[in-house]
């Protein structure tokens, strides 16, 4: 009888109702997520659907708790009003992070899969939570734009506090360069022709796609008409002739594209090794010593 009387107490009943609501919401969220996994094929859409389901689950629980404790909201409101200043000060970072999440969600300035640099952290966004954003880092002790395996959580307050560099928003391409020095006795016209042909072979598709994206960017922002086609520039000094190969590349394929271009350069120069000679400091020292002998 004592146990039944305990259960009949108003506060106990309300706590049981809240627990039942949380349990029901958990089952519903789990069921909906499983249904989405079967219906939706795209991983990105699955992620967004799961996030939306979680948020709706939280809202459902919050509304149910407010309804269950509706008679006591007046007293709770007075208590919160008295403690509000202290709570706001203590949780200011949490509040700003939540505001940052709202900014991210409603502006779409930052999305899953985009590559960002925030202060000294660079990587791809793999999750956007209510309070923090998860970044799969690239670089650091790993050279090039490759993952290093470290996941960093950044409070969402960074959108108001830090400089954000986005590699893949409206224009998901980067300009990159390769410098090739050749000796003074090389056929520089032939070298320029070889480098131009290689860039067109490897990067022409990127140039076409990036031009379309740049035109869209030009309609949205005040930017000049940039040259996205591959270019070869030549300069020289007392040591050697220097060719700078400039091209546009997908932001995720910068290193692999540089590897492909470099491989093609070596292959083509090997066919013309008597006409075009790649310069090096060691070669110059050897030739100078040979001349002194």
Q: In the chain, what percentage of residues exceed pLDDT 70?
A: 81
pLDDT of 282: 52
**Is residue 156 a part of any domain in this protein?**
yes
Q: In the chain, what percentage of residues exceed pLDDT 90?
A: 25
**Res. 87: pLDDT tops 70:** no
Q: With cut-offs at 50, 70 and 90, classify the pLDDT of residue 70.
A: low
**Res. 245: pLDDT tops 80:** yes
Give the separation between CA 274 and CA 189, rounded to whole angstroms: 14
pLDDT of 29: 80
* 73 and 128 both lie in a single domain: no
Phi, psi at residue 56, to the nearest 5°?
Answer: -65, -35
Q: With cut-offs at 50, 70 and 90, classify the pLDDT of residue 38.
A: confident
Give the separation between CA 111 and CA 130, rounded to whole angstroms: 14
Mean of all residue pLDDT scores within the chain: 80
**Is residue 263 a part of any domain in this protein?**
yes
In degrees, to the nearest 5, what angle opens at C-alpha 184 toward C-alphas 179 and 190? 70
**Is residue 235 a part of any domain in this protein?**
yes
Sign of CA dihedral 96, 99, 101, 103: negative
Judging by beta carbons within 10 Å of its beta carbon (0-12, 13-18, 19+), is residue 101 exposed, middle or buried?
buried
Give the separation between CA 88 and CA 19, rounded to whole angstroms: 28
What pTM, to 2 d.p., does this model score? 0.64
pLDDT in tens, 174-218: 999 999 999 888 898 999 999 999 999 999 999 999 999 888 888
Choice between 73 and 203, residue whose per-residue pLDDT is larger = 203
pLDDT of 16: 78
Rounded alpha-carbon distances, angstroms, from residue 152 to 99, 119, 135, 176: 20, 13, 5, 27
Which H helix or E strand runs over 281? helix 281-292
Give the separation between CA 135 and CA 127, rounded to whole angstroms: 7
* 180 and 117 both lie in a single domain: no
* 202 and 250 both lie in a single domain: yes
- Domains: count for the chain: 3
Give the separation between CA 189 and CA 184, rounded to whole angstroms: 12
**Is residue 231 a part of any domain in this protein?**
yes
Judging by beta carbons within 10 Å of its beta carbon (0-12, 13-18, 19+), is residue 44 exposed, middle or buried?
exposed
pLDDT of 76: 54
pLDDT of 102: 84
176 closest CA partner among 66, 105, 259, 236: 259
**Is residue 97 a part of any domain in this protein?**
no
Question: Domain range holding 40?
Answer: 2-90
**Is residue 101 a part of any domain in this protein?**
no
What is the rounded average pLDDT of the residues 150-156? 90
Judging by beta carbons within 10 Å of its beta carbon (0-12, 13-18, 19+), is residue 18 exposed, middle or buried?
middle
Phi, psi at residue 80, to the nearest 5°?
Answer: -65, -35
What is the rounded average pLDDT of the residues 46-64? 76
The Cα diameter of the chain in Å comes to: 113
* 201 and 281 both lie in a single domain: yes
Domain CATH for 133: 2.30.30
Report CA 19 to chain centroid distance, whole Å.
39
What is the rounded average pLDDT of the residues 138-165? 86
**Res. 247: pLDDT tops 90:** yes
The residue out of 42, 61, 90 marking a domain boundary is 90
* 84 and 115 both lie in a single domain: no
**Is residue 104 a part of any domain in this protein?**
no
Those residues with Cβ within 8 angstroms of residue 285's Cβ, 6 or more apart along the chain or in another chain:
none
Q: With cut-offs at 50, 70 and 90, classify the pLDDT of residue 86.
A: low
């Amino acid at each position: 009888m004592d146990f039944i009387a305990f259960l009949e107490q108003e506060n106990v009943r309300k706590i049981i109702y809240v627990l039942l609501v949380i349990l029901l919401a958990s089952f519903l969220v789990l069921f909906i997520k499983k249904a989405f996994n079967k219906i939706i094929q795209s991983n990105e859409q699955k992620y967004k659907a799961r996030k939306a389901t979680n948020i709706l689950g939280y809202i459902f629980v919050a509304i149910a708790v407010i309804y269950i404790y509706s008679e006591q909201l007046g007293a709770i409101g007075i208590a919160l009003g008295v403690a509000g200043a202290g709570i706001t000060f203590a949780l200011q970072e949490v509040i700003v992070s939540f505001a940052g999440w709202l900014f991210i969600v409603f502006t779409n300035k930052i999305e899953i899969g985009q590559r960002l640099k925030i202060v000294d952290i660079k990587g791809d966004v793999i999750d956007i939570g209510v309070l923090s954003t998860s970044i799969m880092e690239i670089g650091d002790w790993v050279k090039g734009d490759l993952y290093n395996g470290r996941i960093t959580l950044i409070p969402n307050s960074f959108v108001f506090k830090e400089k954000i560099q986005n590699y893949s928003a409206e224009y998901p391409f980067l300009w990159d360069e390769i410098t090739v020095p050749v000796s003074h006795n090389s056929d520089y016209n032939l070298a320029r022709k070889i480098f131009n042909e290689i860039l067109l072979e490897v990067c022409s598709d990127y140039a076409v796609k990036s031009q379309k994206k740049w035109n869209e960017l030009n309609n949205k922002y005040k930017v000049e008409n940039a040259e996205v086609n591959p270019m070869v520039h030549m300069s020289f000094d007392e040591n050697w002739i220097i060719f700078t190969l400039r091209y546009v590349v997908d932001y995720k394929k910068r290193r692999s594209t540089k590897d492909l271009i470099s491989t093609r350069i070596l292959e083509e120069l090997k066919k013309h090794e008597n006409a075009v000679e790649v310069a090096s400091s060691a070669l110059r020292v050897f030739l100078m010593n040979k001349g002194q002998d």
